Amino acid sequence: MATDSPMYAPVRTSSPETPSNDASPRYTRASPGKRLASLRPSKVILFVTVIAIIALPLLFRHRDDIPVYFGSKYVHTDLTMQHIPEASGGLPEDLAVPLTLEARLSYLLSRPALMQWEAELPSRHACPFYTFSRNTYFFHDGKPEQWERVGPSDIRRYRSKIVDYLRGVEREGGRLVWDPSMEADVPRELRRGIIFTGAEGKTLDRLRLSLHMLRNVLHSTLPIEMYHFPDEMQDVQLRQELKSEFDITLRMVEGKRPDGKSWNIKNIAFLATNFTEFVYMDSDNIPLADPNELFDSVEYKQSGSVFWADLNKDHPDNAIFRVMGRPCTDDHWPAEAGQLIFDKRGNNGLNLAVLHLSNHMMANDDMYGFLSYGDKDTFRFSFYALGLHYQQAPKIFASAGGYQTQGGETSNDFCGHSMIQWGLTPVSAKHDPSYHPRPAFLHAILAKHRWNLQPDKLFSHIRRPRLDGILEPRLVRTLYEFTGDCFALTLKGPDGLPGVDNSMLDGQGVEMVDMREVLGKDEVWEALKEISERFVMINHSE
């Protein structure tokens, strides 16, 4: 019977030093051709099958499927995704705290309650005083003395009240953890939308500019809800105009401070809405891209929430970190809550508890008023309290404005009075480190307080860091400062480009860019020019 040829055939050899010995054959590798010829058909089929299983995801560019085939606990980072910040802020996995509300609250109560001097070294090491406007930010003025007076008994009281509040919500029939039954009666097309909070007068006039941009320029088809208090939006004709012109739903909610001022309407709206997923925008925020694109972004899908950065960072001595049982960290920027995207289903349904907890913080100004600057902080602190991950937008904001003074006189100096907040990363750019999002929002945070501005210089340029990734360490050289008139962006030290005199050679710098070039779409630029005219007229109106 014929036998298969061995893959390795014995070949007798001899050398001058060693006599030939037939009993001790030496082995040399057979030629590749002989080895292939000796393979059984079953081996060939098996070999081809394995190669096909490995290669098919690569051929179709489904690189996210590769870990299914090559799982390894030693590989944690995709080097092609370092331009996308990971969701963070939650508890370390090695603590093994279950992702349930009861477990997260129990962990919060178990954290040590520290005096200021006991906690200050880790926080001051992680959040240095001299970086990112910590000591010059107006909200921090006069606060360190108040923060220091918060002692261990106060910290335990804060934590107990968090638990008591959430238990009270449940006793009154509220739901703290999202589950699918909460949207069972909501049509699928109404589970995702845009939320505004409205008022009257100039606030409503500016909001109409945003609605015009959404419906008539960006052609967004997302449902829109506008929330207001009972004493607002009582003009029947005005309500009908808004509904017919922009296809929006007006929703009235309760809630007032004792002094009669509106308060906490964002939180009330977020809890009242039937939207499971929503984009929120302030009334002075002009959309520059369809918000629907954000729902399909890489960042949003990582944790079910995205917040955009403000111009300062946290003060390390803020007692809120002791209340939350954690040190300050420079990984996170305080949020600029003129826009956000949120999914109540996130974090195993606990994102809904975040909204309730933020509501508690906003309602207790005597407790949290000196620890947080409104909802821009309370959302983030609520994630911290429950040890949950949330997501930061991938780029720091740019300052938008023009070459005119705050009084409207032409100037050689740029004054940025608004914020360009960039979009998020589409799945198609997930593995492209060179990708930079287009502008998504223009938040006219200071421009609405200016008079006599020239419309053609209102939003003509932006000023931005050259390296503007949210976790970019070289942002420490591009300092944003709130001067009261403008958002000043200053480069500390020489430009970092090669060839520049005395270059830092780190690539960092500050760039002035024409707004039209940044937008990239002529129809959006033309619409923004028209809106600029109307914006200035609103500012001038009585």
Residues 115 and 260 occupy one common structural domain? yes
3-state secondary structure of 61: coil
73 occurs within a structural domain: no
Residues 165 and 313 occupy one common structural domain? yes
> What pLDDT does 344 receive?
98
Instruction: Give the burial class of 507: count Cβ atoms within 10 A of its Cβ; 0-12 exposed, 13-18 middle, 19 or more buried.
Output: middle
21 occurs within a structural domain: no
Domain boundary among 363, 386, 409: 386
Question: What's the average pLDDT block by block, 10 residues per block, for the chain (542 residues)?
Answer: 42 40 42 54 69 58 44 41 85 96 98 97 94 82 93 98 98 97 97 92 95 98 96 92 97 71 81 98 97 97 94 93 96 93 98 97 94 91 97 97 92 94 97 96 91 93 97 93 81 95 96 96 96 93 72
How many domains does one find in the chain? 2
3-state secondary structure of 186: coil
Helices and strands of the chain, counted as H and E runs:
17, 15
Please state at what angle helix 101-110 crosses helix 152-171, rounded to 10 degrees. Answer: 160
469 occurs within a structural domain: yes
Residues 181 and 316 occupy one common structural domain? yes
Residues 459 and 424 occupy one common structural domain? yes
> What pLDDT does 254 receive?
85
Compute how many other C-beta atoms are within 10 angstroms of the C-beta atom of residue 410: 10
456 occurs within a structural domain: yes
3-state secondary structure of 73: coil
3-state secondary structure of 250: strand
Residue linked to tokens 């007068």: 201
Residues 141 and 278 occupy one common structural domain? yes
Q: Distances in Å between the alpha carbon of 219 and those of 248, 299, 524?
A: 14, 24, 11
Dihedral pair phi/psi, residue 482, rounded to 5°: -90, 110
Cα(109)–Cα(156) distance, integer angstroms: 8
Residues 328 and 453 occupy one common structural domain? no
Q: Distances in Å between the alpha carbon of 252 and those of 197, 340, 446?
A: 10, 21, 28
Which region, left, alpha or beta, applies to residue 465 given φ > 0 means left and ψ of -120 to 50 means alpha? beta
Element (H, E) at 152: helix 152-171
Residues 535 and 429 occupy one common structural domain? yes
Cα(241)–Cα(227) distance, integer angstroms: 16
Residues 378 and 422 occupy one common structural domain? no
Could you tell me the two tokens for 247?
A: 């296809």
Cβ(387)–Cβ(404) under 8 Å? Answer: no
Cβ(329)–Cβ(367) under 8 Å? Answer: no
Cα(452)–Cα(407) distance, integer angstroms: 6
List the domain range (segments joined by +) for residue 300: 93-206+254-386
354 occurs within a structural domain: yes
Cα(390)–Cα(86) distance, integer angstroms: 9
Residues 320 and 380 occupy one common structural domain? yes
Residues 416 and 301 occupy one common structural domain? no
> What pLDDT does 527 receive?
98
Domain boundary among 386, 421, 449: 386
> What pLDDT does 39 receive?
58
1 occurs within a structural domain: no
Residues 408 and 305 occupy one common structural domain? no
Residues 119 and 198 occupy one common structural domain? yes
437 occurs within a structural domain: yes
Q: Count the alpha carbons within 13 Å of 235 in the hemisphere toward its beta carbon.
A: 9
> What pLDDT does 76 receive?
38
> What pLDDT does 483 receive?
75
Domain boundary among 357, 386, 415: 386
Cα(509)–Cα(472) distance, integer angstroms: 13
372 occurs within a structural domain: yes
Which region, left, alpha or beta, applies to residue 133 given φ > 0 means left and ψ of -120 to 50 means alpha? left
